[in-house]
Copies of this chain bind each other. A is one copy, B any other.
Amino acid sequence: MKVSPTTDELPFLVLAAANALVESVQSAMAHAGYTDLRPAHGFAFVRLAGAGCTVGQLADHLGVTKQAASKLVDELARQDYVARSPHPDDGRAVLVVLSDKGRAATRAASQAATDAVSVWASALEPGRIEQISYDLSLLAGNSGVRPTW
């Protein structure tokens, strides 16, 4: 099958764009004083926002084992970003919830991400963003946000 030269570069562009985005958020967070948070923590916050979730659900979201998720929660709890609370419906389970500090960090990260794409969006023709969102959602399928590599 014949493809345009552009098509060949596209995989690299998608990768590079994702990197640029994460680096931008990471840099903004570091600048805001959150030097003890890595991107993986940000991905966890996404799932924890709202009512929180169990360790197992967090593990599924991140695409790692329950043990790894448990360690991540340990870390975040030690730094006061989250708290473990007993699960109301299941005595075995642990409900992990964001603390005030955790919610503040989540807001900062979310804002940083929105800023990054806003700057980008302003460099594009109006309406292009909606197109791109739709197009990317086709490529994304049901993949999670967490890179497994």
Contact = CB atoms under 8 A, between A and B. Distances in A.
A3 B16 CA distance: 24
Contact of A16 (B20, B26, B144): B144
Contacts of A17: 14, 18, 136, 139-140, 143
A7 B16 CA distance: 19
Given A15-B21, A148-B23, A128 B131 contact: yes
Interface of A: 1, 3-4, 6-23, 25-26, 38-40, 46, 110, 113-114, 116-118, 120-121, 123-124, 128-133, 135-141, 143-149
Given A12-B145, A14-B18, A15-B147, 17 more contacts: A4-B129, A6-B129, A7-B114, A7-B117, A7-B121, A8-B114, A10-B117, A10-B136, A11-B114, A14-B136, A19-B143, A19-B146, A23-B148, A26-B149, A117-B139, A120-B139, A124-B138
26 contacts: A3-B114, A6-B130, A7-B117, A7-B121, A8-B110, A10-B129, A10-B133, A11-B21, A11-B114, A14-B18, A15-B21, A15-B145, A17-B18, A17-B136, A17-B140, A17-B143, A19-B145, A20-B140, A20-B141, A20-B143, A23-B148, A123-B138, A124-B135, A128-B135, A132-B135, A147-B147
